[in-house]
Amino acid sequence: MQHSDLEIVIGLKDPNTREQAFRLLVGSYKERLYWHIRKIVMNHDDADDILQNTFIKIWNGIDAFRGESSLFTWLYRIATNESITFLTQKKRKSTIGITEENQYLMENLETDDHFDGDEFQMKLQQAIAQLPEKQRLVFNMKYFDDLKYQDMADILETSVGALKASYHHAVKKIEDYLKMTD
């Protein structure tokens, strides 16, 4: 039985039904959030850790959810922030720069046992790994998840115009990379 976001939110607000509602939330969103995180960090083990942390944050922060944004937006925002924080911590720990962060993603991609794509898809992921953080996020959310710009603007807390520009730049860079490596 599919439960609506409204039912889940009402359940989460009541301490007597909170755990049951939380289980429904996890059941409804675990796969979508996992794939969103996985495309950002490009590695299963990292994605698993981040997804766990994301749901723990959601569980601990249920009272902070005021319903001003949709449940979907709130969850995606937490998952995105957790993923970015994870990559930032990796960068800080190993004192690597922005290009090295991309290198980290490339290595993640090449050593991941759970990559199931063909040669073109590997090259596409390598091209995505070369992008700056914001362009990478926008491209993944648009290209793979086909999210609306307005939803992306709510999640990333930016304007639709800025997102369109980022996506345009990202596509251009990816096409150039593919031509260059062809």
Partner 1 sequence: MNGQNNIYDFDGNGQGKNPFKVPEGYFETFEDRLMANIRYQKEISLGKNPKIRILRPIIGLAAAFAGIFLLVYVPMKTFFPDYQAKNAADTTQTTTVMEEYLMTNLTCINGSAFYSAITQEDSNAGSLNNNDVIDYMASDFNDYDIYAEIK
In the numeric block, which tokens belong to residue 144? 């793979």
Q: Does the footprint of partner 1 cover residue 51 (CB under 8 A)?
A: yes
Q: Does the footprint of partner 1 cover residue 146 (CB under 8 A)?
A: yes
Residue carrying the six token digits 């709510």: 154
Q: Does the footprint of partner 1 cover residue 105 (CB under 8 A)?
A: no
Query: C-beta of 43: minimal distance to partner 1 in Å?
Result: 9
Residues 66-95 that bind partner 1 (CB under 8 A): none
Closer of 68 and 119 to partner 1 (Cβ)? 119
Listed in sequence order, the residues at least 6 apart from 88 whose beta carbon sits closer than 8 Å to its beta carbon are none
Nearest-angstrom CA–CA distance, 147 and 128: 17
Q: Does the footprint of partner 1 cover residue 144 (CB under 8 A)?
A: yes
DSSP summary character for residue 16 = T
Number of residues that bind partner 1 (CB under 8 A): 41
Q: Does the footprint of partner 1 cover residue 56 (CB under 8 A)?
A: yes
Nearest-angstrom CA–CA distance, 134 and 129: 12
Handedness of CA 47, 108, 82, 134 (dihedral sign): negative
Tell me if residue 157 falls in helix, strand or coil: coil
Closer of 69 and 132 to partner 1 (Cβ)? 132
Residues making contact with partner 1 (CB under 8 A): 23, 26-27, 30-31, 34-35, 38-39, 42, 44, 48, 51-52, 55-56, 59, 112, 114-125, 143-146, 171, 174-175, 178-179, 181-182
